[in-house]
Structure 1
Amino acid sequence: MAVSKVKLRMLYIMKILSEKSDERHTLSAADINRLLQDYGMAANRKTIYSDIETLREFHIDIVQAKGTNGGYYIGSREFELPELKLLVDAVQTSKFISCKKSKELIRKLENLTNEYDARLLQRNVFIYNRPKTKNETIYYNVNEIHTAILENYQIRYQYAEWTVQKKLIPKKNGAVYMVSPWALTWDDANYYLIAYDKTEDVIKHYRVDKMQQVQIIEKERVGRERFQKFDLAEFAKKTFGMYGGQDVEVTLTCCNELAGVIIDRFGKETILIPIDEEHFRVHILVAVSRQFFGWLTGIGKEMKIESPKFVREEYRKYLQEILQNY
């Protein structure tokens, strides 16, 4: 069945306005007619006005600018330019998205705006000197995990680690892991699976880009009660680099200039207790690990562990082990 030229013309007008107009670049009826000719179509002004009114009734926000250089343009869009810039930045900084896939995703994001704003997005694309995975299987992994979550199934896979030869090989001699997937989360530019491990009766997390041979098992997920008690936001706050450890309430003494560091890491609701004019005390729940100690070391002498004593001792041993190398 031949498609109605009237319907096609209207769709092309919508396409032209979406791709080639904004508040700074309006299109007159004559401009629209000229651009229609690129698609082998033509229309007089009256017809174009009528088609635009129909598109408005369809809730396309077509604005008419009055004046000498007046014309039509798309007003509000599904995504504004600042929102697209945020999404482009997220793609660029994601270690788990390869350079090739980053370019593909950014091109798709550009299609959500007009050609002028798309150029502005391109000017801000810098992906070449960032650490990016070359593992394209992550997209298959994400799809399998999402499907398993939606269909309430368990998954199995092998978990890999890097060797000094820069090869990603399965851990534990290729052992197969079997878990119930409950969520995917993004931390420090990496993608993690949050899953319940029935053998250990615990919620665990795994780097998605290090998962291999992911397969759905048609067995119903378990661990729902465990996951419902699992606070993902709190977990991300208390862990460092997604490395787990013993949960301990630690008291830190900090110089006042570190208030922003504490608030950025643990949230604005964290209570900062003044000690004197230059210092404050804070009680925080952390997963005590070498990564936590590394974070403390990076900040330096302006922050110290006040209590508990056993965490102070572990941190002292951590520092002594490092000093032995020098």
Structure 2
Amino acid sequence: MPRSEGQKGKLIWLLRILARHTDEEHLINVPRILELLAAEGVAAERKSVYDDIATLRALGYDIVQHRGRGGGYYLASRPFQLPELKLLADSVQASRFITRKKSDQLIRALSQFASQWEANELQRQVFASSRVKSMNESIYYNVDALHRAIASDRQVRFVYQEWNLDKKKVARRGGGAYQVSPWALLWEEENYYLVAFEEGKGMRHYRVDKMTSIALLDQPRLGREEFDPQKMRDYAKPMFGMFGGPVSRVELRCENSVIGPMLDRFGTGVTILPQPDGWFTLYADVVVSPPFFGWLCGFGGRVELVSPAAAREQLRQTLETISKAYQPKENV
């Protein structure tokens, strides 16, 4: 029989058919395989299909055959199992960092690792309260550009933006560019951050979705002596709301009922001293900031900031200011 145009790719087409049209619940027989190959312009005979399946098995593909009535073949092992794909799809859909458009594209890409029936299960609505999906489509290119700058040991220049009351992004510094030496990308609190050295200011971090007009420069990076890759894992650990600043050792007096949230926030390596009165003392390194005070207040008196004294006084003044703002208004 003369070889058709599709013969050279027949093994690939057969593998695609097995990947897309079979799973443990859906088997395919040889006549159906021949139909699907013919639909792709690939002529084949029954014996050649058996031989090709044997070749794919020899190459390491886990193709299982069930004999008898209703029997057939299916591809048993894949790069991702269905529960793994569901987890990835849910994470993509729930992430506020990934735009809705990109979420759909990524989930469609993930579905290529599943059969057509399993792929339908990936199109699920995941509800993530209080999450607003990003509207910045260029963020993916920003991340790629920053990775290239880090890999090639180059500084970058960019414009940094923020929202105004007209719901528009405007450039900080009056449109003036930032020039920094990028050292790492950090995923924290559902956002990408660039950790970089800015001359005269030291190590700083910047939200990647607020960066625009990123340009790679020819100057080599600065700040190598201030960057410790071993500490990057814990870079954001003492911060609340990614507020930077000096780190202070704080002493917290906590009701026993809040041990879970404390360990969730600070980890199991934190120092805890149980007390006989149903409370415990906790010592942790944090950046004292308004978000930290807000986090403390969220426990409604079940957590007390004991020291340092300056931070305790700062919290007291903050609460006093808030209290004044909520004093009863006199009738006019």
TM-score of the superposed pair, with normalisation by structure 2: 0.91
Partner of 1:262: 262
Cα distance, 1:53 vs structure 2: 1.1
Partner of 1:244: 244
**1:102-181 counterparts in 2 under 5 A?**
102-125=103-126, 130-181=131-182
- Consecutive unaligned residues of structure 2, counting only runs of 5 or more, are 327-332
Rounded to whole Å, the distance in 2 between the matches of 1:323 and 1:291 is 17
**Percent of aligned pairs with the same residue?**
43
User: Relative to structure 1, is the Cα distance of residues 321 and 213 closer, same or farther in structure 2, using a 3 angstrom cutoff?
Assistant: same
CA contact (8 A) 1:183 1:195 kept: yes
Partner of 1:215: 215
Partner of 1:324: 324
Q: CA-to-partner distance for each residue in 1:110-161, whole Å, 9 max, x for gaps?
A: 1222212211110245589841222222222112111111111100111111
CA contact (8 A) 1:99 1:127 kept: no
CA contact (8 A) 1:99 1:128 kept: no
Rounded to whole Å, the distance in 1 between the matches of 2:149 and 2:25 is 47
Q: CA-to-partner distance for each residue in 1:236-280, whole Å, 9 max, x for gaps?
A: 221112111321111111122211111111112223321126222
CA contact (8 A) 1:255 1:302 kept: yes
| SS in structure 2 of the partner of residue 304 of structure 1 | strand
Q: What value does the CA root-mean-square deviation take over the aligned residues? A: 2.1
Partner of 1:89: 90
User: Relative to structure 1, is the Cα distance of residues 25 and 207 closer, same or farther in structure 2, using a 3 angstrom cutoff?
Assistant: same
Cα distance, 1:294 vs structure 2: 1.0
Bigger shift: residues 140-149 or 154-163: 140-149
- Amino acid in the other structure paired with 1:255: E
Partner of 2:330: none
Partner of 1:184: 185
| SS in structure 1 of the partner of residue 325 of structure 2 | coil
CA contact (8 A) 2:4 2:43 kept: no
Rounded to whole Å, the distance in 1 between the matches of 2:29 and 2:277 is 65
- Amino acid in the other structure paired with 2:299: I
Cα distance, 1:63 vs structure 2: 2.1
User: Relative to structure 1, is the Cα distance of residues 128 and 28 closer, same or farther in structure 2, using a 3 angstrom cutoff?
Assistant: farther
Partner of 2:77: 76
Partner of 1:20: 21
Rounded to whole Å, the distance in 1 between the matches of 2:88 and 2:200 is 38
User: Relative to structure 1, is the Cα distance of residues 5 and 16 closer, same or farther in structure 2, using a 3 angstrom cutoff?
Assistant: same
Cα distance, 1:48 vs structure 2: 1.2
User: Relative to structure 1, is the Cα distance of residues 12 and 153 closer, same or farther in structure 2, using a 3 angstrom cutoff?
Assistant: same
- Amino acid in the other structure paired with 1:93: A
| SS in structure 1 of the partner of residue 27 of structure 2 | coil
Rounded to whole Å, the distance in 1 between the matches of 2:211 and 2:166 is 19
Rounded to whole Å, the distance in 2 between the matches of 1:277 and 1:60 is 63
Partner of 1:6: 7
Bigger shift: residues 287-296 or 237-246: 237-246
Q: CA-to-partner distance for each residue in 1:281-323, whole Å, 9 max, x for gaps?
A: 1111001110111111122211111222111111111111212
Rounded to whole Å, the distance in 1 between the matches of 2:36 and 2:286 is 61
Rounded to whole Å, the distance in 2 between the matches of 1:161 and 1:258 is 35
User: Relative to structure 1, is the Cα distance of residues 129 and 32 closer, same or farther in structure 2, using a 3 angstrom cutoff?
Assistant: farther
| SS in structure 1 of the partner of residue 298 of structure 2 | helix
Rounded to whole Å, the distance in 2 between the matches of 1:281 and 1:66 is 67
Rounded to whole Å, the distance in 2 between the matches of 1:17 and 1:32 is 9
TM-score of the superposed pair, with normalisation by structure 1: 0.92
